[in-house]
Structures are given as C-alpha cells and as structure tokens.
Amino acid sequence: MAAQILTDDDLNASMVEYPVEGTLLSAFLCRPKQADRYPALILVQEWWGLNDHIKEIAQRLAKEHFVVLAPDLYSRLGRVVTKNGAEAAKLAGALDPGKTVADLLGGVRYLQGLPEADPARIGAIGFCIGGSYALQLACRTVEIRCAVPFYGEIPPDEAIEKLAAPILYIYGEEDGWIRKEEVQRLKETLKKFKKPGEVKTYAGSPHAFFNDSRREVYNPKAAKDAWKRTLAFFEKYLR
C-alpha cells in the first residue's frame, strides 16, 4: 500500500542544472523533504516548454513519494516557455532528437547521483513531445525501469523491438496529432516482440486531454482515471 500523500510543506522544489557534453542544462527538481531513498522519475515536458503545468505535475508526483526531475528540453534554445502554438511548434521542430535523448539520459545520470534517489528505480513519464521522448528513453536504455508516455509519437518497429522496460501508453481516441493506425501499430509491435506494454485509450478525449491548464482540451474524467492508472503502474514497477 502506498504511503500517505505528502503536502506542499513536505516538499523541496528548486531549479537545478546538470552538465551534458560541456553544457549546463536546466531542470526542475522536486522531492520529499524527509530523508529516505525514493524511486525517481524523469518527467518530460509538452512542447510549450518547462511551464507551471509541468512543474505542478512534478509536485503531484513528489507528493506520492518520488524524486522528480523535469529537464528543460529548450535549455539549448534559450530556456523558452510559450503559450503560442506556432512558436511551440517551431521550438519543438528545432530540437535535435539524438541530442535531446542524450540530454534526458544526462538527467537520468543526475538522478542516479542524488543521495535521496534510488538509482535502480528510475521511471519516465512525458506528455505530447514529452511522451514521444519518454517512450524513446525506454527503448534506448536499461536504466529506465518503466515508462508512461501520454499521447506521444510511436517510434519505428525496430526501436520498439529494443524496448527494455514495461510501458503504459495513454491515448485519447479523438487525438488529432497521433493517428489511430500508429497506436494500433504499437499494440501489434508490442505483441509481436513480446514486450510488456499496455495501451489505454480514452473515448471522446482529444490530444493533451490531461492538461488542466487548457480547458479547451481537458477531460477531467479521463485525466483522473489516467492519473490513477499511472500511479498504480509506477507502484507496481518502482516500489
């Protein structure tokens, strides 16, 4: 059974920096104040940047007794946060996928070096482009024990074949970005290569339905269930 949920007063939260190939990258770190060894999570942002919504998710996860690091994917692009869709698309398009995965792996190493984080119990979670990268991480390193990608792009079959951790893929049936055919391919490829993974689809839910800061897409019922499933998944694989 999970421990009692913590409050804001029980958490330490701050911006931190960690090095990757000589460059200092920015990240939001949130963890319980009480000294202990906790499972840890890499939280990967949406294309808007490392905004208050992502930081709030980090705090929600930390209240569930996780050490959470949310790297700023736009550290190399000026650490930008935007509410403009065109600018967000431009920023996301400017990311080098290989470098971004390397930057996230640097975040994994940073977590492994924290005394309060258990280096053997690190998971990943991400939303939108962050869901894409959370899934890629699980395909690229054995240091990720599990991953929960929310409505991210599906990598090629040959990448899924290298999947080294269980995944819970969260999807909205009315997603206008990720095609249903791609999600079906994920299901079939997981089965083909006998990889531990589950796809949960929410009827009537659009892309980004978990984002409660965007009322035009937020689906409270689906978001509540997805959160419950996410916590149960991490409880199973990281506790």
pLDDT of residue 3: 73
pLDDT of residue 24: 96
For the domain 8-238, what is the CATH superfamily, name and number?
A: Alpha/Beta hydrolase fold, catalytic domain (3.40.50.1820)
pLDDT of residue 127: 98
pLDDT confidence bin for 169, thresholds 50/70/90:
very high
- Is residue 1 pLDDT above 50, yes or no? no
Whole-angstrom Cα distance, residue 120 to residue 56? 25
Query: What DSSP string runs through 91-156?
Result: HHHH--HHHHHHHHHHHHHHHHT-TTEEEEEEEEEEETHHHHHHHHHHHH-TT--EEEEESPPPPP
- At residue 152, what are phi and psi to the nearest 5 degrees? -100, 165
- Is residue 2 pLDDT above 60, yes or no? no
pLDDT of residue 110: 98
Write down the domain spans for the chain.
8-238
pLDDT of residue 86: 97
Contact by Cβ (8 Å): 212, 223: yes
pLDDT confidence bin for 195, thresholds 50/70/90:
very high
- Is residue 4 pLDDT above 70, yes or no? yes
Each residue of 52-81: b (16+ CB within 10 Å) or e?
Answer: ebbbebbbebbbbbbbbbbbbbbbbeeebb
Interval 35-41 mean pLDDT: 97
- What does pTM read for this prediction? 0.97
Interval 170-195 mean pLDDT: 97
Residue 191 neighbours by CB under 8 Å, 6+ apart: none
pLDDT confidence bin for 105, thresholds 50/70/90:
very high
Give per-residue pLDDT as tens, 56-65: 999 999 999 9
Output the CA torsion 171→41→159→75 (10° steps).
Answer: 100
